[in-house]
Amino acid sequence: MSKRVYLDYSATTPMKKEVLDEMLPYFTEKFGNPSSIYSFGREAKQAVDTARERVAKLIGAKTNEIYFTAGGSEADNWAIKGIAYANKDRGNHIITTKIEHHAVLHVCEYLEKNGFDVTYLDVDKYGLIDLEVLKNAITDKTILISIMFANNEIGTIQPIKQIGQIAKERGIIFHTDAVQALGNVEIDVDELNIDLMSMSAHKIYGPKGIGALYIRKGVKIHSFVHGGAQERRRRAGTENVPGIVGFGKAALMAMENMDHHINHLKMLREKLIKGIMEKIDYVRLNGHPEKRLPGNVNMVYEFIEGESLLLSLDMVGIAASSGSACTSGSLDPSHVLMAIGLPHEIAHGSLRLTIGDFTTEEDIDYVLEQLPKIVDRLRQMSPLYENVKGGQK
Amino acid sequence: MSKRVYLDYSATTPMKKEVLDEMLPYFTEKFGNPSSIYSFGREAKQAVDTARERVAKLIGAKTNEIYFTAGGSEADNWAIKGIAYANKDRGNHIITTKIEHHAVLHVCEYLEKNGFDVTYLDVDKYGLIDLEVLKNAITDKTILISIMFANNEIGTIQPIKQIGQIAKERGIIFHTDAVQALGNVEIDVDELNIDLMSMSAHKIYGPKGIGALYIRKGVKIHSFVHGGAQERRRRAGTENVPGIVGFGKAALMAMENMDHHINHLKMLREKLIKGIMEKIDYVRLNGHPEKRLPGNVNMVYEFIEGESLLLSLDMVGIAASSGSACTSGSLDPSHVLMAIGLPHEIAHGSLRLTIGDFTTEEDIDYVLEQLPKIVDRLRQMSPLYENVKGGQK
Amino acid sequence: MYSEKVMDHFTNPRNVGEIENADGVGQVGNAKCGDIMKIYLKIENDIIEDVKFKTFGCGSAIASSSIATEMIKGKTIQEALELTNKAVVEALGGLPAAKVHCSILAEQAVKAALLDYAQKNNIEIKGLEDFNPDADHHEHHDEEIDE
Ligand SMILES: Cc1ncc(COP(=O)(O)O)c(C=O)c1O
Ligand SMILES: Cc1ncc(COP(=O)(O)O)c(C=O)c1O
Ligand code: FES
Ligand code: FES
């Protein structure tokens, strides 16, 4: 396999060289523990402070509202469990959606087993929640609304500002999982009324294993990792200094690059969607046509199954992701695709291509050359397609 | 400041160059998500598997008993909360010691607020627990014994095998925090009857922000970070591939190097202790003379306070750590030094020097040249020393 | 962590030592808390002619006592009494929140030494009536904790 085209930027991104360069000194030379007072520790502490400022700036937060975690999943777990247990004297009701990432959904399910009530909001065919339904779901006991900023599968962006406004008016804490939105959408936590926000570095060309939770000053939350006095006593563990430094650099670059990045992705996205629509029959776009992540192309290819599509693409060097959960060992199709109302067999035939900064027009051309051939080959094998052809004849 | 001597290896270690070299490709080239099925993901998955084997081998575990975490603190939190909640139908009693790391103690305190009973065992003047006292502390409701392998401040190594034996006989789960012991003591989880064990890479010349929890097959434990299906569905979050690879390499090197490493550290440790004893009055060693970590030199320097000692050492380029909690913003001296029975004012005058692979004889000579001068200068300023001198006259 | 000024006074403390037959000696703090400060005064005609200190404590405790002795040397008793911990912190170019109590200790050590002088000479010093050198000087300035 010579050509390799990576179109799974929503799963993870390659780290940028500039990010690596900034991290390197902190592995072997400036390796001190930031909690120490001697000079080895001070240079590490300064680096952590700088990174915290950069992440804060990207989202319009104050520096002391950024808490580093081991990634987006930990941030989600912390936000939801931490808020639930710290505020359980005020109520035990949580509102979220059916299309959240598993790091939110599985925590909610865990809490349901432990005395909390959770409402999972439906979404429409585009993946959008209904603000009126949200309002009506609120009860006296609602302590937390957790709704993701942008969906990782179909890319749909929720009306975060309005959700934040509703939460604020009712005195309810609002958490959003912005792991996919960060760097791809302008975010200002004050303007959007966000109280807590999950982030992850490896989705914005930073390192894996580092993320952050934004916690608005004054929000009552329990610690998740107890122990040492790191992160203002809220998240214990020796700081992952190179990781934090890398996250900071990635955040800085995301901010400086935002407009160009978004335009580049959108341009390629439109080219890809248009090309697929033109070249392949029986396809449709999942998610919202406009309110979507700039790099997300999630489409249904009827009559075929996602995993076989994925494998075939891999064989010609194209890395993609499938809405089919077959890949993760479960036989149920994606909960997100089910929630937007796709029938099982259609949900199984979804493919997610996600574009990033290193994607070129040639990459898109290559996909547009390979994908129709693959789809055709698989359809020729499909008993479902046979019927269609039969009907059409 | 030209000369720099790092003697705080128990706080964190510099990463070895070989470790960095092994990590590098996984940042920018082999950056795939190991959970993906395409080739970008496969090479990452293979690297994670290899690392898991290496860590398993270092402690005599099976590969599928190693679960990667964000570090030692997360491993401690997971072990204790995960066991407590998964086994609460069998009882609500936990036994630990007064000298655990805060990542254990603070979790225990949290659990005490949530319906669990915790016994904190005393230690003797060397920091050792009494096995008879442990046996007597066990009740029908005891579900977990969590006792650290080696103490991070005074270096004392507990009789882990016997503790494991007692736990096993009584059908109680045994967790040990081996963050400090790993790489410094031969560990075989089967031989030592360990059910769960916390580890951290940055203490063995690996990267910060990555660690692992060993979980014996069959042990009932809840997840700590819920979400995706990573780590055999037990610990969610995109794998920190470079971190895991680095941990694996560090584990491999620790295993290959163990004897040489231990001898080198012990030799320098004895030289340092002997030199200090000879050159400075009113000093004593904290912790056990033999059952101690090979690189730990924790001593009391009477009549002076740890932080001023630290600062003075820093000014001549020596990085150390203090038993005095002044450095961490609290006024209480270290809970470990209090537990071994040191009076407050003596505990305040403790200094921890920890030796590592890169420490040389010249480094030790330098410390033995600088430390006596500094101690003398600070004692000349101390109103406590005045009294002693007066008494001696 | 510490300002340059703090490090300067820690490294080159001014007026370390004892004064034989001092006119006033004050000691505050206790070893339990990890800090003891002792101040010696030589007083002539209401003027502090000489001052020395000894301190068992952290970097900022040593720096606080050093700068405090500098600030009262050559001053009148009344002027020395006006030395506040705030002034000490300012003169040091700031102290970390957790270390502010070290500056309080310095203020109290000066007052304790003046009280000793007053008692030895059987005089009343205005402003010292309510001063108790054994009062707990600790003020905790911990950062927010949520549990
Ligand atoms: C005994 C012990 N346990 C746990 C930890 C926490 O490990 P980490 O810093 O990797 O979270 C440390 C070190 O900080 C330690 O020495
Ligand atoms: C929306 C969303 N939330 C959370 C996560 C989890 O982030 P991480 O892999 O950093 O734990 C992801 C990505 O995996 C995501 O896409
Ligand atoms: S068809 Fe085989 S797992 Fe989905
Ligand atoms: S003397 Fe301990 S904090 Fe100042």
User: Per-residue pLDDT tens for B187-205?
Assistant: 999 999 999 999 999 999 9
Sheet strands side by side (includes A321-322)? A283-285, A296-301, A350-354, A321-322
Q: What's residue B393's pLDDT? A: 36
Give the 3-state DSSP-derived string for B203-235, with helices as H, strands as E and coil as C: HCCCCCCCEEEEECCCCCCCCCCCCCCHHHHCC
- Please give the helix or strand (H or E) that residue A297 lies within, else none: strand A296-301
* Contact residues on chain A for B229, CB-CB shorter than 8 A: 328-329
The sign of the CA dihedral A40, A43, A48, A51 is negative
Q: What is the CATH number of domain B17-254?
A: 3.40.640.10
pLDDT digits (tens, 9 = 90+) for B368-384: 999 999 999 999 999 98
Neighbours of chain C (3+ CB pairs under 8 A): A, B
Q: Which domains does chain C have, with CATH numbers?
A: 4-120 (3.90.1010.10)
- Report the pLDDT averaged over residues B242-267: 98
User: C74 in contact with B at a CB cutoff of 8 Å?
Assistant: no
pLDDT digits (tens, 9 = 90+) for B173-190: 999 999 999 999 999 999
Domain ranges of chain A: 5-12+258-390, 17-254
CB contact under 8 A, A41 and B14: no
Ligand 2: residues whose CB is within 6 Å? A 71-73, 76, 101, 103, 148, 152, 177, 179-180, 200, 202, 211; B 237-238
User: C136 in contact with B at a CB cutoff of 8 Å?
Assistant: no
pLDDT means per 10 residues in chain A (393 residues)? 88 97 97 84 94 98 98 98 97 98 96 97 98 98 98 97 98 98 98 98 98 98 94 94 98 97 98 98 96 97 90 94 60 87 89 97 98 96 79 48
pLDDT digits (tens, 9 = 90+) for C56-77: 998 999 999 999 999 999 999 9
The response to whether B72 counts as a known ligand-binding position is: yes
Fold category of B5-12+258-390 in CATH: Aspartate Aminotransferase, domain 1 (3.90.1150)
B354 close to B10: Cβ distance less than 8 angstroms: yes
Extract the tokens encoding A380: 């020729």
- Report the pLDDT averaged over residues B20-27: 98
* Contact residues on chain B for C59, CB-CB shorter than 8 A: 307-308, 311
**Sequence-ordered list of residues with C-beta below 8 angstroms from that of B279, at least 6 positions apart, any chain:** B368, B371, B372
A325 close to A305: Cβ distance less than 8 angstroms: no
Ligand 4: residues whose CB is within 6 Å? B 326; C 34-35, 57-58, 60-61, 99, 102
Q: Which of B308, B315, B384 sits opposite C58 (nearest CB)?
A: B308
The response to whether B119 counts as a known ligand-binding position is: no
* Contact residues on chain A for B327, CB-CB shorter than 8 A: 37
Query: Among this protein's residues, is A326 annotated catalytic?
Result: yes
CB contact under 8 A, A38 and B208: no
Q: What's residue A328's pLDDT? A: 52
How many Cα atoms occupy the beta-carbon half-sphere of B197 within 13 Å?
Answer: 29
Q: Which ligand lies nearest to the CA atom of residue A197 in the structure?
A: 2
Q: What's residue A331's pLDDT? A: 59
Segments in chain C below pLDDT 70 = 135-147
Dihedral angle, C-alpha C26, C31, C35, C37, nearest 10 °: 20
Note the ipTM here.
0.91
Q: Which ligand lies nearest to the CA atom of residue B354 in the structure?
A: 1
